[in-house]
Amino acid sequence: MSNNKKIIWQYPWGYSESFIIAITLMILGFAINYISKSTVSTIQWPLNLFFGIAIIILLLLVYFLFKKKPFLKWLSGTPAAISAICLYTFLVLLMGFIPQGSPKASGFIHEIGLYDIVSSHAFLFAQIYFLVVLGMVTLKRSFPLRGKNIAFFINHFGLWLTLFAASIGAGDLQRVTLTTNKTNAVYFGINHKGEAIHDLGIAIQLKEFNIEEYPPKAFIIDDKSGTILNEKLFYLENGNSGEIMNWVIKVDDFFEYGICMGDKFHPIYDIGAAPAAYVIAINKKTKKVKEGWISCGSFRFQGNFLKLSDGMILVMADPEPKRYSSKVKIYTTSGNVFETTIEVNKPVTVDGWKIYQSDYNHDMGKWSDISILELVKDPWIPVVYFGIFMLIVGALYMFWIGNKK
């Protein structure tokens, strides 16, 4: 901007005006939070649809009626864009430093909404400002649409659509956790506020819960403090041998499911059976040999460790899950009854719900008698994905072309 001598608020507006507006919006947002003691609530179907359409019509109308006016020149120009990006960045930056959603929040910072920025009025205003400017910028370059502006359109409209659909659709997003068990079909879940939700339209019964585990790791620990002494990892698998902390360790026998009877483990598959390994450990310096069974135990049986020397014991860590899945029977109010398997990263879609494998009873591990599923309904996802798709195309194009001009 070369208009240093220009009086403020005289057109054309530049950075001073843009930043004053951005900062005013932010302070106004903080003040509304402070005075009204409320947060922004989302709007729901079908209100958000009408609202969204109204906004689009309004943006188009304002643009075409006033596009020659200096105010609109400003609103679709770089200074406004930079101030909008800066305001948005500033609030996200606060989010990056202030822990969000802390339950005991109080005091001034809390009252102006900084512990929950996403639902603060300042963030709402920042987002509206951002979307209005981005919308105007897009319109300015898109009418009439010339070939050389297509990349510009894909990037800017793609981002606008993604953010717009994500914002107005936020109120329709439903996330419910449903804890299934083997005795009966469960037809209700709990939302993030802890309320029970009954009108899901589906009921789910757990048929089988499966965990595939990695071979357990062995650790040498200090028997008083319980701290792990070895850095090098050692997996307990049949026949595996290796060296940790001057001990050469060999796995002589290994059962994924073992139960201790007397002083010996036996390969028995029964509820609570735990991995067990017979290890032979030879100290490299003293040549001392120690051998015996080790096991991580389970909710039902105690574990077993091997004493190597004073203060040092060899233990088996609980095996870590490689994948876990639930075989479930699903009943829908639309009359369908079927069985399916839900796995982490492989959700299942039923009547508008996407069902995710979420959790299980960790104390019981692979014997868990429950499986926790998450049901998600997000009707706006196709629109958001369309925007994301545009952004991907725009990014690929940008990567290819660079800033050659």
Partner 1 sequence: MDILNFNNIAFITIALWIIGSLFILGDQKIKNGRLIGNLFTITGTLVIIVFVIILWIEIDRPPMRTIGETRLWYAVFLPIVGILTFFKWKYKWFLFYSLGLAILFLIINILKPENFDKVLMPALQSPWFVPHVIVYMLSYALLGVSSVVSAWGLYLIKFKTFKPKLLNKADNLVYMGFSLLTLGLLFGALWAKEAWGHYWTWDPKETWALLTWLSYLLYIHFRFRHKHKTVTALWILALAFIVLLICWIGINYLAVSGNSVHTYTS
**x/- contact string, 112-131, with ligand HEM (CB under 6 A)?**
------------------x-
134 binds, among partner 1, ligand HEM, none (CB under 5 to 8 A by kind): ligand HEM
Say if CB 120 and CB 113 are below 8 A apart: yes
DSSP 304: B
Rg from Cα positions in the chain: 30
SS3 label, residue 75:
helix
Say if CB 276 and CB 260 are below 8 A apart: yes
User: What six digits make up the tokens of 343?
Assistant: 């796995």
User: What six digits make up the tokens of 167?
Assistant: 């914002």
Residue (129 or 265) nearer to partner 1, CB: 129
Residue (96 or 311) nearer to partner 1, CB: 96
Residue (292 or 386) nearer to partner 1, CB: 386
Out of 322, 351, 352, 362, name the contact with partner 1 by CB under 8 A. 322
Residue (197 or 290) nearer to partner 1, CB: 197
345 binds, among ligand HEM, partner 1, none (CB under 5 to 8 A by kind): partner 1
152 binds, among partner 1, ligand HEM, none (CB under 5 to 8 A by kind): ligand HEM
Residue (126 or 200) nearer to ligand HEM, CB: 126
Q: How many CA atoms lie within 13 A of 90 on its CB side?
A: 17
Residue (232 or 261) nearer to partner 1, CB: 232
- Adjacent-strand bridge partners of 190: 177, 196
175 binds, among partner 1, ligand HEM, none (CB under 5 to 8 A by kind): partner 1
d(CA 151, CA 147): 9
Question: Does the footprint of partner 1 cover residue 320 (CB under 8 A)?
Answer: yes
User: What six digits make up the tokens of 67?
Assistant: 């596009």
For the segment 334-393, give every residue that binds ligand HEM (CB under 6 A): 391
Report the nearest approach of partner 1 to the CB of residue 96 (Å): 5
Out of 356, 360, 367, 371, name the contact with partner 1 by CB under 8 A. 356
Q: Which helix (H) or strand (E) holds 328?
A: strand 321-332
Out of 159, 236, 330, 355, name the contact with ligand HEM by CB under 6 A. 159
Question: Does the footprint of partner 1 cover residue 167 (CB under 8 A)?
Answer: no
Kindly tell me the burial class for residue 107, based on how many C-beta atoms sit within 10 Å of its own C-beta (0-12, 13-18, 19 or more). Answer: exposed
Say if CB 193 and CB 218 are below 8 A apart: no
Q: Give 17-24 contacts, CB < 8 A, sequence gap 24+.
A: 17/74, 17/79, 18/74, 18/79, 18/80, 18/82, 18/83, 19/83, 19/86, 21/80, 21/83, 21/129, 22/83, 22/84, 22/86, 22/87, 22/126, 22/129, 23/87
Report the nearest approach of partner 1 to the CB of residue 89 (Å): 4
Residue (85 or 185) nearer to ligand HEM, CB: 85
Kindly tell me the burial class for residue 176, based on how many C-beta atoms sit within 10 Å of its own C-beta (0-12, 13-18, 19 or more). Answer: buried
- For residue 394, the one-letter residue type is G
Query: Judged by CB under 6 A, which stretch of 9-17, 152-160, 234-242, 292-300 contacts ligand HEM?
Result: 152-160
d(CA 76, CA 199): 45
121 binds, among partner 1, ligand HEM, none (CB under 5 to 8 A by kind): none
Question: Does the footprint of partner 1 cover residue 4 (CB under 8 A)?
Answer: no
**x/- contact string, 217-256, with partner 1 (CB under 8 A)?**
--------------xxx-x---------------------
Note the residues at the interface with partner 1 (CB under 8 A): 78, 81-82, 85-86, 88-89, 92-93, 95-100, 118, 166, 173, 175, 214, 231-233, 235, 320-324, 343-347, 354, 356, 358, 374, 376, 378, 381, 384, 388, 391-392, 394-396, 398-399, 401-404
Note the residues at the interface with ligand HEM (CB under 6 A): 77-78, 81, 84-85, 130, 133-134, 137, 141, 152, 155-156, 159, 391, 394, 398
